[in-house]
Structure 1
Amino acid sequence: MHRNFDRQTDRVELLSRLSGLPAHKHTELIEEYQKRSENAFSPGTLRNYRMTIRLFDEWCKRKGLDSTPPISPQTVATWVDDMGGKLAANTIETRLWGLAEFHRSRFLPSPTRHRLVELAMMGVKRKYGTAQRQAPALCKKDVLSAINNLGRSQRDNRDRALLYLATDSWCRASEIVSFKVRDLLRQDDESSLLFISKSKTDQHGQGAYAFLSAKGTRAVLAWIEEAMLSSDDPIITKSQMGGERKPINPATVSRILRRCTGRMDVSAHSTRIGGVHDAFRLGCDLSSIMVAGRWTSPEMPARYGRRILASQSAAF
């Protein structure tokens, strides 16, 4: 008899069949899953996943609870309650994903889908809201002012190239540190295009392009020449002579921006938000901003620019 496809029912049936496997076969499946995860997930996703499991385990120890899967829905719901008001709602949901993946990796049903956990999450959102804390904007005039204050040391020249990459391209830190010399594509007007081979929203590497101004191009080329970088080398490397030709950590981009601007409140995302603010001030429409920042949805650029949009509203 034909049965309509039910994803949840099929998942439960599959898990039931897997639970009947011999212990060594089950262990082999778990080991293979872990190996395949290394290729399937980005390094950042894997870092967040491991951090979530570590933090959950530490929380369970403090509470005298068992963190061994399968974990009870009551325990997960209590964990959600405890995170409420301390973490943003989207961060809590990310941690629930990590706990769900923890169970999937062992071919166990996830407690995060239980109604108790859903209700706990709904309660947190209702009590504390879902607003996300936004990084302060770092507009182009602020970045150019920081660039003008740089000297001519090797570190300054590296930082100059990085600051131009950040403010011209609106790229994320992970994208900035991934640029190789060969990704700089010169144009006739002395500006350049930067080829983004992979990004947070393009995990399968379809590729995209970002803009780099003529001044930015000259700064990047000067750094490439000074550091004697080859085509396959990352553009933003350690500034010391003879240092490894490896990309810097994405977190270092934020530290460099803080050091160069003297602002401790900014992060690598601040130039992306600042670019949106600049564009709205110039009167650019949302679709043009989406193209410049490579967004597929208007939600994020509209959120980034809501302060500017409010100041430009018809209300007076």
Structure 2
Amino acid sequence: MSKIEQYIHAATRENTRRSYQSAIRHFEVTWGGFLPATADSVARYLAEHADTLAVSTLRLRLAALAQWHREQGFPDPTKAPVVRKVLKGIRELHPAQEKRARPLQVEELDRITDWLEGAREKAETRNDRKTLLAATRNKAILLLGFWRGFRSDELCRLQVEFVTVSPGEGMTLFLPRSKGDRQSAGREFRVPALSRLCPVAAYEDWIRLAGIGEGPVFRAINRWGQLSGQSLSPNSISPLLRHLFAESDLAADTGISSHSLRRGFANWASSHGWDTKTLMEYVGWRDVQSAMRYIDTPDPFSRQRIEKSLTAYTSNRLTDNSDR
């Protein structure tokens, strides 16, 4: 691979590259389409999958097809009016409510952490290194993901050489790139050391036990208790959280996913007086709309507000009647 090809390859994130490759395979192999594609064939592809695929998935497939055609020097068929109209019609006839992860509660965080501590103690007694490593790693993932409001991809891209710990104060994490960082300038995140449920102490415990000096922070562990040299996949974080819920005897909840960590912290911070601007700066949201998607109002049905107004109305009405 030439240097130019290396830089072109690096310009696209690995997750995006895999998603686009999968989309192209689905169009060409599974569905039987031909590349380069015509606008009519892309429109037929959308129509035939409108009943089974979400609109967001169809948009991703279009993005993959568009990129393939641009890179190969062909006209982009996804920009044709017929394709746009078909997609608009699908949105009209197949509306879908956005699914949001349920926010993780601090009480649940505490419960799972306690269970992980118990698992660590038992593993040490049995000299079970695999379980000891897994429990220590999972505790660090859970606490760091929650208190920093990280997405799964951010957790999985942390590198030891980009982490600086200030004992008793906190630690600084640097991510060379992240979602929304179009210029790939990187961003620095600060994490506080806490009196309990401490993400810094959990991180230090994990790094010390695993003996990691460089490379990915969070890695897979095989059945013999050996660490992988590669980072965990972002797709593994949601199943991991659901597993921790089940193991710690918390009620099973299909709404739990990796986004539960981010949403959990956002709701905790909002309910404890953080203003939106401070929360946006801490988590890294660039616009209010993105932030509000993660924050649940404490009165979702506006019941308290309406009841308060009704009480005032009833009181005024009684006063008026007594004056007559």
Q: Same fold, TM exceeding 0.5?
A: yes
Question: Which residue in the other structure is 1:288 paired with?
Answer: 278
C-alpha distance in 1 between matches for 2:6 and 2:157: 24
Q: In the TM superposition, what whole-angstrom CA distance separates every residue of 1:96-148 from its partner, at most 9, and x where no partner exists?
A: 11111121122111111110011111111222236432222223332221111
Structure 1 residue runs of 4 or more that deviate by more than 4 Å after TM superposition: 31-37, 306-309
1:274 aligns with 2:264: yes
Question: Which residue in the other structure is 1:56 paired with?
Answer: 27
1:177 aligns with 2:160: no
Structure 1 residue runs without a partner (length 5+): 1-30, 62-66
Number of aligned residue pairs: 280
1:246 aligns with 2:246: no
CA drift at 1:234 = 1.9
Question: Which amino acid in the other structure matches residue 83 of structure 1?
Answer: H
CA drift at 1:167 = 0.8
Secondary structure (helix, strand or coil) at the match of 2:98 reads coil
Name the Cα RMSD after superposition: 2.5
1:95 aligns with 2:79: no
Question: Which residue in the other structure is 2:321 paired with?
Answer: none
Question: Which residue in the other structure is 2:14 paired with?
Answer: 43
2:95 to 116, 122, 129: 129
C-alpha distance in 2 between matches for 1:186 and 1:258: 30
C-alpha distance in 1 between matches for 2:301 and 2:163: 37
Question: Which residue in the other structure is 1:167 paired with?
Answer: 146
Question: Which residue in the other structure is 1:255 paired with?
Answer: 239
Indicate the structure (1 or 2) with the bigger Cα radius of gyration.
Answer: 2
Question: Which residue in the other structure is 2:47 paired with?
Answer: 81
C-alpha distance in 1 between matches for 2:50 and 2:114: 44
Residues 23 and 64 of structure 2 are in contact (CA less than 8 Å); yes or no, is this contact kept in structure 1?
Answer: yes
Q: In the TM superposition, what whole-angstrom CA distance separates every residue of 1:217-245 from its partner, at most 9, and x where no partner exists?
A: 11110111111111x23221234544333
Secondary structure (helix, strand or coil) at the match of 1:120 reads helix
Residues 172 and 272 of structure 1 are in contact (CA less than 8 Å); yes or no, is this contact kept in structure 2?
Answer: yes
Aligned CA distance change for structure 1 residues 308 and 48 (closer, same or farther; 3 Å): farther
Secondary structure (helix, strand or coil) at the match of 2:35 reads coil
Question: Which residue in the other structure is 1:223 paired with?
Answer: 206
1:297 aligns with 2:283: no
Residues 11-26 of structure 1 aligned to structure 2 (within 5 Å) = none
CA drift at 1:81 = 2.2
Secondary structure (helix, strand or coil) at the match of 1:55 reads helix
Residues 193 and 209 of structure 1 are in contact (CA less than 8 Å); yes or no, is this contact kept in structure 2?
Answer: yes
Question: Which residue in the other structure is 1:205 paired with?
Answer: 184
Residues 90 and 130 of structure 1 are in contact (CA less than 8 Å); yes or no, is this contact kept in structure 2?
Answer: no
Secondary structure (helix, strand or coil) at the match of 2:229 reads coil
CA drift at 1:73 = 1.5
Secondary structure (helix, strand or coil) at the match of 2:218 reads coil
Q: In the TM superposition, what whole-angstrom CA distance separates every residue of 1:232-270 from its partner, at most 9, and x where no partner exists?
A: 232212345443332122222222212112245222122
Percentage identity across aligned positions?
A: 23
Question: Which amino acid in the other structure matches residue 162 of structure 1?
Answer: I
C-alpha distance in 1 between matches for 2:242 and 2:137: 15
C-alpha distance in 2 between matches for 1:199 and 1:220: 21
Q: Normalising by structure 1, report the TM-score.
A: 0.80
C-alpha distance in 1 between matches for 2:226 and 2:108: 32
Secondary structure (helix, strand or coil) at the match of 1:245 reads strand
Secondary structure (helix, strand or coil) at the match of 1:48 reads helix
Q: In the TM superposition, what whole-angstrom CA distance separates every residue of 1:77-110 from its partner, at most 9, and x where no partner exists?
A: 1222233343332322121111111211221111
Secondary structure (helix, strand or coil) at the match of 2:173 reads strand
Residues 253 and 268 of structure 1 are in contact (CA less than 8 Å); yes or no, is this contact kept in structure 2?
Answer: yes
Structure 2 residue runs without a partner (length 5+): 121-131, 247-251, 308-324
Residues 71 and 111 of structure 1 are in contact (CA less than 8 Å); yes or no, is this contact kept in structure 2?
Answer: yes
Q: In the TM superposition, what whole-angstrom CA distance separates every residue of 1:26-64 from its partner, at most 9, and x where no partner exists?
A: xxxxx9997664222010110011010111124533xxx
C-alpha distance in 2 between matches for 1:203 and 1:228: 34
C-alpha distance in 2 between matches for 1:309 and 1:91: 32
